[in-house]
Amino acid sequence: MFINMIKVHLYRYIFLIPILVGFIVQNLKVLIYSLVNMRIDYGRILDANGMPNLHSAVFSSLSMSIGIKYGFSTLLFSVVTVYSIIIMHDTIRLKREKEKQTNIINIIIANVNEFKNIREGKIKKVLQIRIFDIAIGALLGVLITYLLIY
């Protein structure tokens, strides 16, 4: 009874679903990285990158929510889905460009004598992003949204 009441509330206020999906995905990310590293990694809760990707989970959840509530053949669903795909594509492209810039800055720091005192402080490569991360995020966004509504 209580679960049905929550589902009706989420269906009525559909903007809450992607927020809830983002919260679930970020907590799942903390769990995954904590298990892999054998230590609790609370820092991942604020990191949108990694597996699963927060951007793709939230925007695929938004698309799925709109599709379920208003129909998959509506103009609204089409617009939201196209924007979601563009955001996921730009996430991949932007992160790759940031990674290239990080590599170049690290090469400059290592090779220019004026930067001897900061050679130990190389920029970390935390900007890596894989298409797999985006795909898993999108899949989780759709799956969790489906489970929250139905």
Give me the domain span that covers residue 79. 2-92+129-149
Would residue 117 count as lying in a domain? no
- Specify if 103 maps to a domain: no
Question: Are the CB atoms for 87 and 55 separated by under 8 Å?
Answer: yes
Tell me if 120 is assigned to some domain: no
The verdict on residue 102 lying in a domain is no
In a domain, residue 33? The reply is yes
Domain count for the chain, please give it. 1
pTM (two decimals): 0.80
Residue 108 included in any domain: no
Tell me the pLDDT band of 98, cut-offs 50, 70 and 90: confident
Q: Report yes or no on 121 lying in a domain.
A: no
On whether residue 38 sits in a domain, the answer given is yes
Residue 117: what pLDDT? 64
Average pLDDT, the chain: 86
CA nearest neighbour of 149 among 23, 7, 52, 3: 7
Give tens-digit pLDDT for 38-85: 898 888 888 877 888 899 999 999 999 999 999 999 999 999 999 999
Rounded Cα distance, 40 and 7, in Å = 32
